[in-house]
């Protein structure tokens, strides 16, 4: 029997899960400010959605997909990326019929790739991504860069490196591919088996081969920039100008072609190496595509999008000491003093939760020492003590864990009292009030 984690997967639990939530909610709230809506698509899709072209050259599609037949004999795949699913959802739900563009989608969730696990590389990992579909111009392209750049900055990353490249339009890419075939064909015997294949399927992909001998050959290959059409050059110049206008530092890197076949015009990636030298690969990246929606059965609609790996972001934030302080302590720990008081403690904790406070009741008969130990360990602000006297007098004792100050509070006044402790609205209209404003006397 094997009860271990599946290779390349990992648990995200407790504190770590809270940090993940923080990272995700920063991306989500920023995407919403930019007008994106969430698309929750299934994790399983028909394999054809990703294998649209049998000549697809990307490693992801050819070698890394979790592809299987279900019990009905259908070929399904665990999604290896989010963009194709968003495009499919747009087509299936006919979101284009109203001609109201751009369609702005964001997604978050697990994706699956059968890769060799190493630092920052998993077989199941989380991606946050956006797609901006239907308006084909550099403003849309650059808006995705601005959003991603701002998100990374807000997370605390400084010295970010945005690497950007222009793959041009179809004409530019066709001319460039011809030049690459001419250049690499005589060298084919010196190339790795994957590049031999790439030469046939998509010579552009040779450019980002990671095999050192191939990288050497790539150094002397023709450069994309020399093959860009006038229209592509002009569009790229406008893109760069916009980046300058908004103050986003960039570096043009002709080595960036990205892993998928559908990109055109711009592609970009963010690189970040921590002070201690941790390099988990690209934090995220994206690019423009012209034909994806059409390939999936929709109209010709251009799009642009990016995806970020949450694991990589988390591990770099951690390595850099940039994780924010978590505010995950308890507001109240309700402590029964003796077996008889457990029920009351249980009910008081629920009452406090309904007022919006994070509360826990101790539901075992424990010593003071161990109850306070637990409260401290859980970062509790106030202990609520209930002994037999308090039961009899319909009250509780609230103890400030920091100052050790204790106050007897009648059950009927508990709501007002706890609200006053947290500076929330005072709702007491008569009688004694403990809020900041009224604590010195009657209202």
Question: To the nearest whole angstrom, how small is the minimum distance from the Cβ of residue 243 to ligand AMP?
Answer: 19
In the set 50, 122, 227, 417, which binds ligand AMP (CB under 6 A)? 122
Segment near ligand AMP (CB under 6 A); pick from 102-110, 112-120, 242-250, 429-437? 112-120
Does residue 425 contact residue 419 with C-beta atoms inside 8 Å?
yes
Does residue 290 contact residue 302 with C-beta atoms inside 8 Å?
yes
Closest CB to ligand AMP among residues 10, 415: 10
**How far apart, in Å, are the Cα atoms of 250 and each of 162, 240, 253, 266?**
5, 9, 9, 13
Question: To the nearest whole angstrom, how small is the minimum distance from the Cβ of residue 270 to ligand AMP?
Answer: 7
Number of neighbours of residue 279 by Cβ within 10 angstroms: 13
Residues between 270 and 309 that touch ligand AMP (CB under 6 A)? 282-285, 307-309
Q: Counting beta carbons within 10 angstroms of the beta carbon of residue 142, is it exposed (0 to 12), middle (13 to 18) or buried (19 or more)?
A: buried
Is 106 a binder of ligand AMP (CB under 6 A)?
A: no
Shortest CA distance to 126 belongs to which of 79, 87, 86?
Answer: 79
Closest CB to ligand AMP among residues 9, 229: 9
C-beta nearest to ligand AMP: residue:
309
Q: Are strands 44-46 and 75-78 parallel, antiparallel or unpaired?
A: antiparallel
Contacts (Cβ under 8 Å, ≥6 apart) of 223: 254
Does residue 306 contact residue 148 with C-beta atoms inside 8 Å?
yes
Segment near ligand AMP (CB under 6 A); pick from 115-123, 131-139, 156-164, 401-409? 115-123
Contacts with ligand AMP by CB under 6 A: the residue count is: 18
Is 312 a binder of ligand AMP (CB under 6 A)?
A: yes
Closest CB to ligand AMP among residues 121, 137: 121
Positions of E strands within 170-260: 251-252
Residue 345 to residue 386: CA distance in whole angstroms: 7
303 token code pair: 């799009």
Contacts (Cβ under 8 Å, ≥6 apart) of 109: 40, 43, 82, 126, 127
Is 127 a binder of ligand AMP (CB under 6 A)?
A: yes
In the set 311, 360, 390, 413, which binds ligand AMP (CB under 6 A)? 311
Is 259 a binder of ligand AMP (CB under 6 A)?
A: yes
Q: Where are the alpha helices (DSSP H) in 202-320?
A: 212-219, 230-246, 292-295, 310-319
Is 261 a binder of ligand AMP (CB under 6 A)?
A: no
In the set 27, 106, 125, 289, which binds ligand AMP (CB under 6 A)? 125
Residue 385 to residue 399: CA distance in whole angstroms: 8
Closest CB to ligand AMP among residues 283, 428: 283
Closest CB to ligand AMP among residues 65, 361: 65
In the set 36, 77, 81, 157, which binds ligand AMP (CB under 6 A)? 81
Question: To the nearest whole angstrom, how small is the minimum distance from the Cβ of residue 308 to ligand AMP?
Answer: 6
Question: To the nearest whole angstrom, how small is the minimum distance from the Cβ of residue 221 to ligand AMP?
Answer: 23
Residues that bind ligand AMP (CB under 6 A): 81, 113, 115, 120-122, 125, 127, 259, 282-285, 307-309, 311-312
């Amino acid at each position: 029997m094997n009860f271990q984690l599946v290779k390349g997967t990992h648990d995200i639990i407790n504190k770590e899960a809270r940090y993940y939530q923080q990272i995700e909610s920063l991306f989500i709230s920023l995407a919403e400010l930019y007008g994106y809506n969430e698309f929750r698509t299934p994790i399983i899709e028909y394999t054809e959605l990703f294998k649209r072209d049998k000549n697809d050259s990307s490693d992801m599609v050819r070698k890394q997909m979790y592809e299987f037949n279900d019990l009905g004999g259908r070929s399904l795949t665990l999604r290896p990326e989010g963009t194709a699913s968003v495009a499919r959802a747009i087509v299936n739900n006919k979101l284009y019929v109203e001609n109201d563009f751009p369609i702005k989608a964001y997604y978050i969730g697990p994706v699956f790739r059968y890769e060799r696990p190493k630092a920052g590389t998993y077989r199941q990992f989380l991606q946050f991504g956006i797609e901006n579909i239907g308006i084909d111009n550099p403003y849309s392209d650059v808006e995705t860069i601005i959003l991603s750049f701002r998100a990374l900055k807000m997370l605390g990353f400084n010295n970010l490196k945005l690497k950007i490249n222009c793959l041009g339009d179809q004409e530019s890419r066709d001319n460039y591919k011809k030049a690459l075939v001419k250049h690499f064909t005589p060298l084919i015997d010196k190339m790795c088996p994957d590049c031999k294949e790439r030469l046939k399927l998509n010579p552009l992909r040779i450019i980002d081969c990671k095999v050192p001998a191939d990288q050497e050959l790539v150094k002397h290959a023709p450069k994309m920039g020399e093959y860009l059409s006038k229209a592509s050059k002009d569009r790229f110049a406008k893109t760069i100008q916009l980046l300058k206008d908004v103050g986003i530092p960039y570096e043009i890197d002709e080595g960036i072609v990205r892993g998928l076949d559908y990109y055109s015009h711009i592609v970009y990636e963010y690189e970040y190496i921590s002070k201690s030298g941790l390099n988990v690969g690209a934090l995220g990246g994206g690019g423009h595509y012209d034909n994806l929606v059409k390939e999936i059965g929709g109209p010709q609609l251009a799009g642009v999008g990016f995806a970020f790996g949450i694991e990589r972001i988390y591990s770099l934030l951690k390595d850099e000491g940039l994780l924010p302080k978590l505010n995950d302590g308890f507001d109240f720990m309700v402590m029964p003093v003796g077996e008889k008081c457990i029920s009351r403690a249980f009910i008081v904790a629920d009452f406090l939760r309904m007022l919006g406070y994070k509360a826990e009741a101790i539901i075992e008969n424990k010593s003071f020492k161990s109850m306070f130990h637990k409260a401290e360990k859980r970062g509790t602000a106030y202990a609520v003590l209930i002994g037999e006297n308090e039961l009899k007098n319909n009250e509780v004792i609230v103890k400030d864990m920091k100052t050790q100050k204790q106050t007897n509070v009648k059950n009927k006044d508990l709501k007002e009292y706890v609200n006053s402790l947290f500076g929330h609205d005072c709702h007491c209209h008569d009688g004694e009030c403990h809020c900041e404003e009224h604590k010195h006397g009657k209202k």
